[in-house]
Amino acid sequence: MSSKQGGKLKPLKQPKSGKKEYDEHDMELMQKKKDEEKALKELRAKASQKGSFGGTGLKKSGKK
């Protein structure tokens, strides 16, 4: 049995933080952020249904 320690010591685990209490201002910001994300998600879904942008673009003819 050796009294030497080899390698690095593992750091002690930090205690988990408890639930955070939010005031009215924080709740408003969180709600606003959720609304913006929801609107962005809806726009993405709408854009993916349409296909390519504009619908018309450069058309290649079969002739040379």
Query: What value does the mean pLDDT take over residues 1-16?
Result: 74
pLDDT reading at 54 higher than 60: no
pLDDT reading at 13 higher than 80: yes
Burial class (CB in 10 A: 0-12, 13-18, 19+), 18: exposed
Percent of the chain residues past pLDDT 90, beyond the cut: 31
CB 14 within 8 A of CB 22: no
The amino acid at 33: K
Per-residue pLDDT at 49:
79
